[in-house]
Amino acid sequence: MNIRTESVRAPGYLATLAARERWGRSEIAFWLVLVAVYFLLPNNLMFASQILITGLFALSLDLILGYAGIVTLGHAAFFGLGAYTAGLLTKTGYTEPASGLMVAGLVAGAFGYLSSYLVLRGRDLSRLMITLGIGLLLYEVANRATDITGGVDGLQGIAVGKVFGLFAFDLYGKTAYLYVLVVSFLLFVMVRSLMTAPYGLSLRSIRENQQRAVAIGIPIRARLTNIYTLSAVIAGIAGALLTQTTQFVAIDVFAFQRSADLLIVLLIGGTATLYGGFVGAAVFLLAQDWLSSINAEYWLFWLGLLLIITTRYLRTGVMGGLKSLQRLAARAKPGEES
Amino acid sequence: MLNFLGLLFDGLAYGTLLFLISVGLSVTLGLMGFVNLAHGVFAMLGGYLLVTLMGRLGFGFLTALPLIFVAVALISLVLERSLYRPFYKKTHLEQVLLTVGIIFVATAGATYFWGPGQQPIEIPVWMKGQLNLAGVDLSRYRLFLMAVGTAITLLLVFGLERTRFGARVRASVERQRTAESMGIHVERVFQITFALGSGLAGLGGALGVDVLGLDPYFPLKYLVYFLLIVVVGGPGSVIGTLSAALLLGVADTAGKYYIPSTGAFVIYVAMIVLLLLFPQGLLGRRKEI
Amino acid sequence: MNKFLNRLSALLAAFTLAWTAQPALAQEVIKIGVILPLTGPYADYGEEIGNGLKLYMKQNGDTVAGKKISIIIRDDTGIAPEVSKRLAQEFLVQDKVDILAGFGLTPSALAVAPLATQAKKAMVIMNAATSVITTKSPYIVRLSHTLPQISAPMATYAAKQGIKKVYTLVADFGPGIDAETAFKKAFEATGNKLIGGVRVPVTNVDFASYIQRIKDAAPEAVFLFLPPGSATISFLKAYKERGLDKAGIILLATVDFADDNLMDALGTSVLGLVSSGHYSAAHDSPMNKAYVQAYVAAYGTKMRPNFMSVAGYDGMAAIYAALKKTNGDADGDKLVAAMKGLQFESPRGPVMIDPETRDIIQTVYYRRAEEKNGKLYNIEFDQIKNVKDPGK
């Protein structure tokens, strides 16, 4: 009896999980396109790395917002901590970037772990407020500690060394782009395997229905705490990448605008899709660049309008839009794709 | 002691202003659970209307105020119909994003029509300067603010406690489903409170130009204050909002005087601590938001 | 499942294609890449600087020493150094600009400085006023002012007036602290001491408590540095309302506080304010009269030309003059060498570029806010000639 149920049911269940884990052709194509950018657009590599960094930052937000359903208005706190850590580290004379990233990730992660106890207490609105408060508080700390952070003038004199002592950062941003691409890819692979594993499914069930999640034995508190910490680590690494590639830290890494923009990026791309953050970052930054070169003064208007329209009509973002297009196409031509 | 009384007065006046602007947000949040981050937009609109009415059209300060209240309330109705309504049943995240979008559009719009700078405003001469009462110097304009604030609070409390409409509002805040099943048209109730709340915000914004300043970034700059007051006061409670606003006003004013080195920390730390101590707000209704 | 990702990649490719490099440029053009804040809270800075810069080109044509001058203006959205840096990098590698210019705020200038050194291109600062900027790259030349350059003369003035008890009130951020330090140093050098001071949060708007502190300290004068905008307006209102003016407490401010663009918003409460500054729209010289007239003719009366617009104007003037000297050679080293020691007449008065620090040497004026033809202006009543940046 027992054996029979398992032999019938297990393969289907395992097959679903296995299918989730398998890399599709288009996913591989996505990363290949990013590699191709290096050769095709040698003049825009600096911009491309900033898009990737924003995408990585958005991915970190996706973990807690898209997968675990925690609304935050202060995610820039971790980004900023990572950015300042990486910057201050080089000032102590330790300039190797790759290990600098890890230190930045650890610092942001530690702060994320500690603050998770404050954030995870309330419901949506108080979470919103507490994350907002923590973000503003850190901004104020960075502003006041002028001796350490340089205040609003920014942290100067950052000297980033060669990656592994081999590859120096250049004017064209070639090293920077490859460096950011490799780091983003590694982190993405890690996040992807976590989210396609049962762990990711348990997060989704917490988001959908907490009571049921408890009922099937998911340790909600522990799950939320560690995903929040992981998200902080990745955000911190993204911040450190920005510091290392621009060799400058400004106080705006902690700004409210950065947290708000990030929400927009993720929304445009689509939440809980893994790729949404990267796509959103590309669309957002390209649109900003394009709109502000046409009419710099009113780009905020177009951004706002874009936001209203996306929330109103395109709730699932670009990724969701593509998905439903694909479904429509599949319905129109049955048999082409299962 | 005299110093302290003076500070207390200043703090209370400042709090009154914050109360006028935030009370609408509190009621709409309590009523529909709608997170309207763009509430400050209505306050900003009130401010710009005052500047235009007085500066370009030659209206008097006192005649402009009621006009602004009505105008902002009507404009907010249009927005409620066209933009807000489809979002009542959606998640808080979507409401946040929609209203952040509205803030951006409003900021760009204000820059377009009025320019990026600060707006000049001249309050009537009889409101300028100070009045000496029993050794304490009191600003005339702040006295006026407190008078308006007190009058509006009394009206609100009376309206909520003693009128049929107020009873409907209270019923809808308390138990929305029950209220609906008893024949209360909650959406209509909400619509009217939304308009009234926005009108009050517009009035507060107009009164605040002289104290808070006015530029296109107004809705973002004060967002934290409004949210803080509403969340600490407990969404849906007029008296709670009033206490939170007055508390914040006095704490902010006194903190700056006695321990100026703490600067902006006070307000953020206060926010986090209060939220941890009173997750439901000081006098909040037990509602999961 | 994966078809949409295919489409996504296609979309991405289309996007990137749409955004490839612009066509190659002709030989005889000198390109100037201008980076300014045109959106966000500092949008009016960018507008003023851009107006001044374009006005110069309008008046003096776009050809110098046989080369055509072409400007590209991009928006860095305010305090966003990574955007400034990215734009500068794109200017250098993609648009192949010869000169970088603009920079409304210190962080932007500091972030771009290493790029100017790396690319060996002249970088002309048109506003950012923190003293250290010019030391960050040998290619930086500043045509605006520095904070200590403006704040220190205020202390000399106070001492000259026999004012002994001065209190300071500054915004709690880099520029505020710089101004406070410069003022304190200069004031103590005259043998006086500050009787106290307070730093207020940058976003502060309610000054009731601080005014009370000033009242308690009972100084003869208050030195001020606040971010121009809502803070200055509310401070002045509170100052008048609470009768500090009647108590005879004098206000000492800098050019930012009494910005020409803010005078209308400050209203009559600004009357009598003494400030030190390098430019006032009411500066009495034929050149300035012509400048103000041309500005109004070009941009209307919505904005007044202020010190930022003049820095944009003079920045272009310096570039033009240097190009004439080098015969149209825009090489960074040659251009900077040509700018060193450059002297010319600006709407603000005579200016010179310090050959050692590459900072501007200029006259600092003492001005009092007065009504003139029904409008509020800073009227100059005294001056110190050839003020160098004391911050270095």
Ordered domains of chain B (ranges, CATH): 2-277 (1.10.3470)
- Tell me how far apart the alpha carbons of residues C16 and B289 are, in angstroms, rounded to a whole number: 43
Residue B70 clears pLDDT 90, i.e. is over it: yes
Q: Does the distance separating the beta carbons of B256 and C265 come in below 8 Å? A: no
Q: Does A26 touch chain C (CB under 8 A)?
A: yes
- Residues 28-87 (A) with a CB less than 8 A from some CB of C: 29-30, 33, 37, 40-44, 46-47, 50
Q: Which residues of chain A does B29 touch, with a Cβ-Cβ cutoff of 8 Å? A: 125
Token pair recorded at residue B68: 């602004």
- Tell me how far apart the alpha carbons of residues C329 and C118 are, in angstroms, rounded to a whole number: 19
What is the greatest pairwise CA distance in chain C? 82
- Tell me how far apart the alpha carbons of residues A248 and C89 are, in angstroms, rounded to a whole number: 14
Query: What pLDDT does C8 receive?
Result: 53
pLDDT band at B162 (very low <50, low <70, confident <90, very high): confident
Dihedral sign of CA atoms B76, B111, B49, B230 in order: positive
C-alpha distances (whole Å) from C260 to each of A307, B55, C8, C48, C264 are: 36, 19, 51, 11, 8
Q: Among candidates A87, A94, A130, A93, which has minimal Cα distance to A241?
A: A87
Q: Does A125 touch chain B (CB under 8 A)?
A: yes
Place of tokens 């110097």: B137
Q: Among candidates B225, B283, B247, which has minimal Cα distance to B30?
A: B283
pLDDT band at A336 (very low <50, low <70, confident <90, very high): very low
- Tell me how far apart the alpha carbons of residues A308 and B102 are, in angstroms, rounded to a whole number: 7
Residues comprising chain C, all counted = 392
Residue A338 clears pLDDT 50, i.e. is over it: no
pLDDT > 90: percent of chain C: 45
Query: What pLDDT does C174 receive?
Result: 76
Task: Indicate the residue type of B218.
Answer: F
pLDDT band at A302 (very low <50, low <70, confident <90, very high): confident
Q: How close is the nearest chain C Cα to the Cα of A22, in Å?
A: 11
Hey, what domains does chain C have and what are their CATH numbers? 29-145+286-363 (3.40.50.2300), 148-278+365-387 (3.40.50.2300)
Q: Does the distance separating the beta carbons of A144 and B263 come in below 8 Å? A: yes
Dihedral sign of CA atoms A99, A105, A111, A114 in order: negative
Q: Does the distance separating the beta carbons of B14 and C209 come in below 8 Å? A: no
| Chain A residue at shortest CA distance from C130 | A153
- Tell me how far apart the alpha carbons of residues C183 and C178 are, in angstroms, rounded to a whole number: 8
Q: In what order do the strands lie in the sheet with C99-102?
A: C63-64, C67-75, C29-36, C99-102, C122-125, C140-142
CB count in 10 Å sphere of residue A98: 14
User: A34-278, which class in CATH?
Assistant: mainly alpha
C-alpha distances (whole Å) from C258 to each of B12, C213, C370, C371 are: 31, 23, 11, 13
- Tell me how far apart the alpha carbons of residues A266 and A264 are, in angstroms, rounded to a whole number: 5
| Residues contacting residue C275 through CB under 8 Å, at least 6 positions apart | C154, C252, C253, C254, C255, C257, C258, C366, C367, C368, C369, C378
Measured CB to CB, residues of chain B less than 8 Å from chain A are 29, 35, 83, 86-87, 92-94, 96-98, 100-109, 111-112, 220, 224, 227-228, 231, 235, 263-265, 268-269, 271-272, 275-276, 279, 288-289
Query: What pLDDT does C28 receive?
Result: 79
Which of A234-238, B22-26, B272-276 shows the lowest mean pLDDT across its residues? Answer: B272-276
> Bigger pLDDT: A188 or B228?
A188
Categorise residue A70: left if φ over 0, alpha if ψ from -120 to 50, beta otherwise: beta
Q: Does the distance separating the beta carbons of B98 and A133 come in below 8 Å? A: no
Residue B190 clears pLDDT 80, i.e. is over it: yes
What is residue C290's three-state secondary structure?
helix
**B-C contacts at Cβ under 8 angstroms:** 102
Q: Which backbone phi and psi does C86 adopt, to 5 degrees?
A: -65, -45
pTM of the model: 0.81
Residue C224 clears pLDDT 60, i.e. is over it: yes
Q: Does the distance separating the beta carbons of C39 and A297 come in below 8 Å? A: yes
Token pair recorded at residue A60: 């970190």
What is residue B175's three-state secondary structure?
coil
Q: How close is the nearest chain B Cα to the Cα of C15, in Å?
A: 24
Under a CB-based contact definition with an 8 Å cutoff, are residues A46 and C89 in contact? yes
Which segments of B52-185 does DSSP mark as H helices, in order?
Answer: 61-79, 92-114, 140-162, 164-174, 176-181
Q: Which residues of chain A does B111 touch, with a Cβ-Cβ cutoff of 8 Å? A: 297-298, 300
CB count in 10 Å sphere of residue A35: 13
Q: Does the distance separating the beta carbons of C94 and A44 come in below 8 Å? A: yes
Domain boundaries, chain A: 34-278
- The interface predicted TM-score of the complex, written ipTM, equals 0.77
When pLDDT is averaged across residues C142-162 and rounded to a whole number, the result is 91
Under a CB-based contact definition with an 8 Å cutoff, are residues B275 and B233 in contact? no
Residue C3 clears pLDDT 60, i.e. is over it: no
Q: Among candidates C354, C344, C351, which has minimal Cα distance to C365?
A: C351
Which chains border C (3 or more CB–CB pairs < 8 Å)? A, B
Q: Which residues of chain A does C136 touch, with a Cβ-Cβ cutoff of 8 Å? A: 156
| Chain A residue at shortest CA distance from B102 | A304
**Closest partner CB to A322 (pick from C8, C132, C174):** C8
> Bigger pLDDT: C386 or A166?
C386
Token pair recorded at residue C355: 């050959």
Q: Strands (DSSP E) along chain C, which ranges?
A: 29-36, 63-64, 67-75, 99-102, 122-125, 140-142, 166-171, 194-200, 221-225, 250-254, 274-277, 343-346, 349-353, 360-372, 375-387
Query: What pLDDT does C313 receive?
Result: 95
- Tell me how far apart the alpha carbons of residues C314 and C339 are, in angstroms, rounded to a whole number: 12
| Residues contacting residue A249 through CB under 8 Å, at least 6 positions apart | A83, A84, A86, A87, A149, A150, A154, A155, A158, A243
Q: Among candidates A65, A52, A97, which has minimal Cα distance to A273?
A: A65
pLDDT > 70: percent of chain C: 93
Q: Does the distance separating the beta carbons of B86 and A312 come in below 8 Å? A: yes
Place of tokens 């003023």: C48
Place of tokens 């006695």: B258
Q: Which residues of chain C does B214 touch, with a Cβ-Cβ cutoff of 8 Å? A: 230
- Tell me how far apart the alpha carbons of residues A277 and B184 are, in angstroms, rounded to a whole number: 44
Q: Does the distance separating the beta carbons of C2 and A27 come in below 8 Å? A: yes
Enter the DSSP assignment of B118: P
> What element of type H or E holds B137?
strand B136-139
Q: Does the distance separating the beta carbons of C242 and B137 come in below 8 Å? A: yes
Token pair recorded at residue A9: 């049911």
- Tell me how far apart the alpha carbons of residues A178 and A42 are, in angstroms, rounded to a whole number: 12
What is the Cα A251 distance to its own chain's centre? 20
Query: What pLDDT does A230 receive?
Result: 95
Most confident of A94-103, A271-280, C240-249, C315-324: C315-324
Angle ∠(B230,B233,B234) on CA atoms, nearest 5 = 80
Interhelix angle B39-51/B92-114, rounded to 10 degrees, is: 20
Residue C287 clears pLDDT 50, i.e. is over it: yes
- Tell me how far apart the alpha carbons of residues C126 and B48 are, in angstroms, rounded to a whole number: 32
pLDDT band at C18 (very low <50, low <70, confident <90, very high): very low
Query: What pLDDT does A295 receive?
Result: 65
- Tell me how far apart the alpha carbons of residues A258 and C351 are, in angstroms, rounded to a whole number: 40
Q: Among candidates A324, A48, A71, A108, which has minimal Cα distance to A235?
A: A108
Going by their DSSP bridges, the two strands C343-346 and C349-353 should be labelled as antiparallel
- Residues 146-205 (A) with a CB less than 8 A from some CB of C: 146, 150-154, 156, 171-173
- Tell me how far apart the alpha carbons of residues A54 and A285 are, in angstroms, rounded to a whole number: 9
Place of tokens 């946040």: B96
Query: What pLDDT does C297 receive?
Result: 93
> What element of type H or E holds B132?
strand B130-133
When pLDDT is averaged across residues A101-115 and rounded to a whole number, the result is 94
What is the Cα C341 distance to its own chain's centre? 21
Task: Indicate the residue type of A277.
Answer: G
Q: Does A305 touch chain B (CB under 8 A)?
A: yes
pLDDT > 90: percent of chain B: 18
Place of tokens 């401070």: C235
Query: What pLDDT does A333 receive?
Result: 62
Residue C209 clears pLDDT 90, i.e. is over it: no
Q: Which residues of chain C does B121 touch, with a Cβ-Cβ cutoff of 8 Å? A: 267
- Tell me how far apart the alpha carbons of residues A221 and A64 are, in angstroms, rounded to a whole number: 13
When pLDDT is averaged across residues B269-287 and rounded to a whole number, the result is 68
pLDDT band at B206 (very low <50, low <70, confident <90, very high): very high
